[in-house]
Structure 1
């Protein structure tokens, strides 16, 4: 009798409609729009954000022995829409004026295409950098979507620490085991120019499938240039065989390269011509801002990467909760941590500019380190997984 009663309940229209409603709600709020409830809460109960203004920014001394001839260089593709990166670029322009760094935006054009020969933007840009190193003693190459979050930090500090150590400094990305290909600090040396040309020319030996563009290519260059086929367990040919099999094999290819590289941080060219330094996670001049959900620390951060306008989270008054939740689902969505609406370049040059930040996104150094430590642990586990796939890929070749 009790079973019959339960069966009747389960079959009743009210139960079916109620269950369907809860299932629909679960799918909407948990599966399709997991951020909707939090964004809805912000719409009605969110506290107004406050603004923190920087102290007067001390400009770089041009007479100090620790001051170097440095330029900042962006390479943009032919026909690129700079409005996608305009706010990030404005921070770089102001920062350059403030500290008297050279600042250049170089467009890929027919002249560069003829001079360099590469067809793909991601590779020709490294050729262009090599041709423009002569402008300064040191050049910081950046992606166009990089913003200066802490203008008191100086590029000179990285030069001072490494000027006798390496011709080019790369850094490790935080959310995976990649060497960042979109930024490096390069000395105006013959070796730097030669290395960057080799980097650009990898376009001509890319595998036919999913190769990851220059993000994948930089790993091949490191193992081929500095290790060749002289390693005992894995060698560069093994890694190349994995490279380009599929999109999934890209992570295994990069893990293969990192296994060969080991914990090496200073890479000596076998010819003796020069050296490359690879800066560990969290110790470079920039990181991906989205890995900490745009939270940052004045004591740790310098520049943040990934400030594309199309991925920017709108303010509460600019979009409804559903639209904000939809944007949060995008890869690398970000909040504008800087509250300055514009940057007056005259104020930047005279040193009277101040940076303004939204207080809700500013956290302590310890809080940020806790976030990054968790990200590091997650990345470590993913690396182990990709590393374990290497034998399977090699077995099937």
Structure 2
């Protein structure tokens, strides 16, 4: 199946989701960093290994079951010998995520019926990671907003139409970045929430924001956030950000608890990871907004701590989604899942409780697999997901 057109399409969209989830740059950095980590020296003894990239401060803890934890503070637990930390040297870069995407698209025959669309897609994806692309998108949206009557209802209707199209179609097609959609969602929700209180203030704030030159649409959201905060609309900002975070949570829950067709593993994964991708802009929007509020001047300590906490939880969920999309790329052929299943099966023979705990960690925390994979890892072949191991 690995040579079939269906497999090529599946592989393409696995890479594309990871590439656009936040920005192409963030995907490429994580891709190369994790490749470097995958080639780490296999040294040391004991159930836990500690690693540090050469020239960097933070530590990564890897346990016997291959689960891991990142320690930003760079501190070892008491009793761990500093000499046990393995330093990961630089390695030769591998083909980029964009290289992989282009390689798949180049395989489309020149005489294929949709070759023209393929060529257009190649150009769009290649340009997506450039500053010019983000600035052009922001400028186009600002120009359209200038053309719309300075009435809150009209502005909100336009923002709803554009943001929904970006969220449901253009993000999944590689035409926009997750951070672009996040910025527009912030603008939309700030305007919608403020309009409930003061439609005139809503229109005025947006009109001022669209006149400013910005490098990406998130810049408009930042200008609006500052204007709303300075205008005494902090409660409306809080409500808007809470709603955005709630939508991100709901999208993750929908993906995790969704009903997926049996016997079609690639389709299962397309639906699951596509739903996770939809959650990302909401989480990015909430995290960015909470962070900006947490550093506003003249905040009470309680408000600062509350905003910082909300930023941390939204950011953590965004990282978890991005990591899941990364592992989907890394395990596009199902080999790592098969390896983990073998490890679980071996552990089952020794300690079922430990095996169940490992499965929970693998599915819910480390790889963020679809929940149905718990039964698959435990050896239940009646789940309809067994084909996910075979491509």
TM value normalised by structure 1: 0.25
Give the number of the structure whose residues are more often helix, by fraction: 2
Structure that is richer in strand per residue: 1
TM-score (norm 2): 0.26
Q: Greater RCO between the two (CA within 8 Å, min separation 6)?
A: 1
